[in-house]
Amino acid sequence: MKYKTCSHLKRGLWPKVTINARIVVVGASDTGLAFLDALTFSILETFNNLTLISTHGLPDRYSDDNMRFLATSHCYSDQDQAQLSLRSWISMVMDKMKAIESKAKHLELMENGKVKYDDLILCTGLQYQVRDTQTQHQHNSANQDVTPRRRHLHPWLMDNFVELTGDAVLYGNTIDMFTCVETLMHLGVSGRRIHVVHPPEEDPFSCFHNVSVEHAVKQALEKEEVHVHHDCLLTQINDGQHTDPVTLVSFTTDAQTLRLESMFFIFSHKTFDYDAFKAISDACLVFDGRLVIDSYFHTNDPSIYAAGPLTKYSRCYHADQWSDSCINSKEVGQSLASVLLPLCDPTLERPAGPPSDHNHLIPVYNQAKIQVLLLWLIFIICILQGRDIVTGRTETDIYIHLHLSPHDLVESITCLSKNTLPVSNLPCLYRKQQLLLNHLCSRYDEDHHSLY
């Protein structure tokens, strides 16, 4: 009988349980999409009342990878988005969360009134913002002017910047910034019109975590004549005037003051959106630098869950160094769904409150966190002590760096290539023992000994 049940489930013949609970997700991040994906295509349940609230709606589908202004996590490809077709299964509200009325169980939105919920899922993520509070208001104005809608950024740039004179300033030290440099150049912006401005940091190219890749990126910028400025602190936007658009930015350095008349992109620091923070704070949810959750994704409100980079574990877990920001976002969303799915089963009695976690153990995640650039393909995982296997050179067509743990498990993969790589295949190497890779270490050592 057990085999028969499994067979029915596989063929989709087992009757599903209809769930009418109002589940509202705020934020179309990878975590939120993975959560909705798991609920929408659940084998046992059919959810009739799923709502996604996002300022820009579902992520855009790009016909050309050259049009990406941010690095991709590769959690959901364009093909994945097309196959899922979440728009067919969920209600989409393009708006922004203004307030959470936890007692009445509804959200107040900026423009579209109120949305009621039974379970609220917060997956807003973090956004690039200026650290200096004096320039915060001006930075928000810059974002509204330069990117009123992320999907319209490409045509806006073509009409208002690419074919005109003027420079672009990209401030920060993240992989996203280098992705934006590549995209601007693909649109036809000369490298001479691009200023890469790094804030004061010990290593101006530390985001790559690989000396060889850092050197290759530096050479590529020099070849394209991109202006690179180091140790610059943003001090003023538009000379302190609260006007739109942003046309002038000022920085201080050890030697002089740097003033640049240009279009301005911020890639220096990710933090909470102010409106999201205010809504969370006013709802009396515990906030300690980030929104505090337990190992089951509960906030201090039993009807409100949260996941993704906006969260951190409660201090009783003694895991301040761990957060969902350093974990594969898709796996986090799937884990969140596995917590909520049993609670939605009407055949089971729902507990009055969140389960107790006396052991204070954080979840274990196994999938790799991926960051992909167009020209530079980077896979960054937490690196432990072990050995390195390097093939190729950054000057050639392809360079690959594998880092193995003391137990000979693949802990990180770094690839740099001028040609297209099979991105979907490379994560399959992650956490594999080198013996499963046809005795990788032995073959590598034999090849190197043969050179001497």
Q: Which residues of the chain have pLDDT under 50?
A: 1-11, 62-63, 133-150, 376-381, 383-384, 451-452
Cα 249 from Cα 236, distance rounded (Å):
6
Nearest to 197 by CA among 253, 241, 145: 253
What is the bridge-based pairing of β-strands 50-54 and 233-237? unpaired
The pLDDT assigned to 346 comes to 74
What are the beta bridge partners of residue 372? 72, 377
The pLDDT assigned to 204 comes to 60
**What is the 8-class DSSP label of residue 102?**
T
| φ, ψ of residue 99 in degrees (nearest 5) | -155, 155
> Which tens digits make up the pLDDT trace of 174-192?
888 988 998 898 888 999 9
Domain with CATH 3.50.50.60 in the chain: 14-126+272-344, 133-270
The pLDDT assigned to 129 comes to 81
Measured from the Cβ of residue 311, the count of other Cβ atoms closer than 10 Å reads: 21
Cα 290 from Cα 333, distance rounded (Å):
18
3-class secondary structure, 353: coil
Q: Which CATH superfamily is domain 14-126+272-344 in?
A: FAD/NAD(P)-binding domain (3.50.50.60)
| φ, ψ of residue 436 in degrees (nearest 5) | -75, -15
Cα 210 from Cα 412, distance rounded (Å):
11
**Integer angstrom CA distances of residue 274 from 52, 119, 124:** 20, 23, 12
**What is the 8-class DSSP label of residue 324?**
G
Nearest-5° angle of CA 124, CA 129, CA 134? 135
- What is the fold of 133-270? FAD/NAD(P)-binding domain (3.50.50)
| φ, ψ of residue 197 in degrees (nearest 5) | -115, 115
| Global model pTM greater than 0.85 | no
Residues 6+ apart with CB under 8 A from 314: 286, 292, 293, 294
